[in-house]
Structure 1
Amino acid sequence: MVKAADRAKNPARSSVWLEKRAARGGGGPAGLDRDRIVAASIRMLDEEGLSKLSMRKLATELGVTAMSLYWYVDTKDDILEYAMDSVYGEIDLAAVDAAADWRDRIRLLALDYRRMLVRHAWMSPSAGQYLNIGPNAIAVGQKIHDTVAETGLSLDRRPSAMSAVFQFVYGYGTIESQFGRRAAEAGMSQDEFYVDSVNAFRDDPDLTEQVEGLKEILDERTSHDSLSVVWDRDFGYALDVLIAGIEVMVAREAEAPDGTRK
């Protein structure tokens, strides 16, 4: 059983997926199982965020006592690890397999990863706190590795290429999801929130000089009817830039004499 103190003492070896959990005696509460607990936790996280999740509130949502949850999980960390792995399962690996080549596979993986982060704003701040070694997370990581291997990059260059693409996606999806969360908390649509915040920035007399150099790009970005159009356009183009960069680096490796690199 992984307790909170154990996690703090040895975080590199603390995960619900490494835990050898002792079987509970007797039977668990009727109608309750781990899948139902995880589904309810994801709903709560999506609606209320990380700070509002607790064993007590989760039990109330499920209509059971808090002690009932301990038949299936030992800590809130366990629940978060299960929830994180569950949403990794939203990435459509079958569609990736059906794609024409590694470029399309990278695009599909990146787009699904971004969408997952945006749907679940709690996911990106959680990801770095846990090992992410559940079955869905490992399957996604394996697919990313296999796809980058198809590019032709040498083994020692693949981690850098994976980082370039998927750390970009993580950052982009995090900013997009947190922007959406802030707009929702303000009771505004993303379009309203964006235009209002840009205007506040532009109308501040103390920022006049700094804003002048950004006028052209700000005008372009606020000229669209929907901020989602801008999110999608910028993401797609940035991803194309990264894929083109991988192609260039593959070509450089192929042209370098005697395995040297330029």
Structure 2
Amino acid sequence: MRPPRSPGRSGPPLHRERIVAAAVELLDQDGVGGLTMRRLAERLDAGSTTLYWHVTNKDDVLDLALDQIFGEVQLPEQTPDGNWQSEVEALVLGWLAAMLRHPWSAALLGRPLLGPNVLTRTEFLQSALRRAGLVEPDLTAGTHALANYVIGTAVTLSTWQRLDDPEFRQAAQRHLTTQRDRYPTLVASGHLDDRDWADTFRRGLKYLMAGLAARM
């Protein structure tokens, strides 16, 4: 929410957009633990003092970087026939795809999401539901249900991707199958098997939207 600072004629040759772009590159490369203000300054070929002219600390950078990736999510066009399901599905699928392209984002979702990109897309989502006829308190509940479904899926898939170790996966599968009597449903459904997660996500999304449609 802090406005960009203008360096003036004698100010540093940096701007917030360049800093954020470099931060996203570092985060994509090394994750949250790999981003430090020193490394960011080095990537920008600038001194730390110059960097702090624009951002107060690492938390500032993380907030800006998280909002930046949500800007990759295309805002769907409103359909002429008022097909809110297709609008919501397009937005939500784009939202999930952006987070999976930047798996570090899942680790930052405990931070306040108040950036302009996040708010613009949340506004689109809630507006689509309202135009479809959803009213309070169902409107807020529906918005949060969809947003939390995306976030929860992104956290789960990003975590599983980071553990992309065949030996670990085999050990986890053995752990489950050797306790078949304790977890019969999980074993029968292939809880830890590789699967088409995109299809699973779409199915869950349809269930959510069917429930919302029933409230309209």
Which range, TM-score by smaller chain? 0.7 to 0.9
Change in CA separation of 1:23 and 1:155 when aligned onto 2, cut-off 3 Å? same
1:196 has 2:159 as partner:
no
How far did residue 23 of structure 1 move?
5.1
Pairwise CA distance, 1:143: 0.2
| Identical-residue share of aligned pairs (%) | 26
Determine the structure 2 residue equivalent to 1:233. Answer: 199
Question: Cα RMSD between the aligned structures?
Answer: 2.5
Letter in 1 for 2:175: F
- Looking at structure 1, the residues matched to 3 and 131 of structure 2 have their Cα atoms a distance apart, in angstroms, of 37
Matched, 1:243 2:215: no
- Which structure has the highest helix share of the two? 1
SS in structure 2 of the partner of residue 129 of structure 1: coil
Contact 2:22–2:40 (8 Å) recurs in 1: yes
CA distance in 1, matches of 2:123, 2:185: 44
Distance 2:171 2:147 in 1: 29
Deviation at residue 197 of structure 1 after TM alignment: 4.5
Partner of 1:214: 186
1:49 aligns with 2:31: yes
Residue of structure 1 equivalent to 2:120: 139
Does the aligned pair in 2 maintain the 1:88–1:116 contact within 8 Å? yes
Matches within 5 A, 1:143-222: 143-183=124-164, 188=165, 192=166, 195-202=169-176, 204=178, 207-218=179-190, 222=193
Shift of 1:45: 1.1
Determine which structure has more spread, i.e. the larger CA radius of gyration: 1
User: Deviation of residue 24 (structure 1)?
Assistant: 4.6
Aligned pairs for 1:22-171 (under 5 A) are 24=7, 26-30=9-13, 32-93=14-75, 95-98=76-79, 101-130=83-112, 132-171=113-152
> How far did 1:74 drift?
1.8
**Structure 1 residue 167 displacement after superposition:** 0.9
> How many residues are aligned here?
215
Task: Give the drift of 1:25.
Answer: 6.0
CA contact (8 A) 1:38 1:83 kept: yes
8 Å CA contact retained: 2:37, 2:48: yes
Q: TM-score, normalised by structure 1?
A: 0.73
Counterpart-to-counterpart distance in 1, 2:53 and 2:186: 57
- Greater RCO, CA 8 A, separation 6+: 2
- 1:81-112 alpha-carbon deviations (Å, 9 max, x no partner): 2112211111100x343585100111111111
Runs of at least 5 residues in structure 1 that lack an aligned partner in the other structure: 1-16, 251-262
- 8 Å CA contact 1:33–1:72 kept in 2: the answer is yes
How far apart in 1 are the matches of 2:80 and 2:207?
19
User: Alpha carbons of 1:163 and 1:24: their partners in 2 closer, same or farther (altered >3 Å)?
Assistant: same
Q: Structure 1 residues 86 and 98 mapped into 2: Cα distance closer, same or farther (>3 Å)?
A: farther
TM-score where L is the length of structure 2: 0.87
Aligned-pair CA distance for 1:48: 1.3
Note if contact 1:202-1:208 (Cα within 8 Å) is conserved in structure 2. yes
Q: Which amino acid aligns with 2:156?
A: I
1:42–1:83 CA contact under 8 A, matched in 2: yes
- 1:54–1:155 CA distance, 2 compared to 1 (3 A): same
Contact 1:91 1:112 in 2 (8 A): yes
The superposition leaves residues 57-87 of structure 1 with CA deviations (integer Å, 9 ceiling, x where unpaired) of 1112222222221232221122112112211
Unaligned runs of 5+ in 2: none
Relative distance call for 1:20 and 1:151 in structure 2 (3 A) is closer
